[in-house]
Amino acid sequence: MLAWFAGGVNFSGALAGSAVAFIMAVRDLRMFLALLIVFAVTLVATRVGYARKQQLRTAEPPGGRTAAQAMANLGIAALVVALAGKAWPVLALAALAEAAGDTSSSEIGMAFPGKTVMIATFKSVPAGTDGGMSLFGTIAALLGSAGVAVAALATGLVPFSQLAIVILAGFFGTLIDSLLGAVLERRGWLDNDLVNLLSTAAAVGMAWGLG
């Protein structure tokens, strides 16, 4: 309800978020707190430079994120929490770190674009282009992923030895997101929701590999 009133999600997005939050809170309340960190990071990143994003026509729609968008970003994490074995915290947190890092990267990158290059070719492109990367956006991706990992460490959800795994997997997922955007989304073969879903899955896969 708070996310809905804050304009971060619409009504359907609030319902989907509630389902994800319930799954996480039942498994471990500390995971729900990590989800709150993701929401806070993405909400702040979305609000930063909003006027400029409106001028570029890249701002989030006023109604907030839909159920499809919420599940594309959080569905893999919820699935891991519900089904995974003893390694579930680091895997689920990797998915959440990717979601926070990806949104931070795209939103901050559009607010403070600087030089933006295509990840597949390194040619200059306008800010907000699918697959585009900038210095500020890349730093924001790393900080967004780190924020989720540090919050989980502070609550004891993961030990210090797994901190780097969550951060690296989340950041790696944001790079996969950019690559999929450059190669597949720009051609119309995938939409943004599928790109986000696959990117969080990639983050989980990397965390599993590193673990």
Query: What pLDDT, on the 0 to 100 scale, is given for residue 123?
Result: 93
Query: What pLDDT, on the 0 to 100 scale, is given for residue 4?
Result: 85
Query: What pLDDT, on the 0 to 100 scale, is given for residue 101?
Result: 96
Cβ contact 163:149 at 8 Å: yes
Separation between Cα atoms, residue 141 and residue 131, nearest integer Å: 14
Name which of 117, 114, 136 is nearest 125 in CA terms: 117
CA distance between the termini of the chain? 36
Predicted TM-score (pTM) of the model is: 0.92
Per-residue pLDDT of the chain (211 residues; tens, 9 = 90+): 888 887 778 999 999 999 999 999 999 999 999 999 999 998 888 878 666 655 555 556 667 789 999 999 999 999 999 998 889 999 999 999 999 999 999 888 888 878 999 998 999 998 878 899 999 999 999 999 999 999 999 999 999 999 999 999 999 999 999 999 999 999 999 999 999 999 999 999 999 999 8
Cβ contact 153:163 at 8 Å: yes
Cβ contact 92:197 at 8 Å: no
Query: What pLDDT, on the 0 to 100 scale, is given for residue 61?
Result: 61
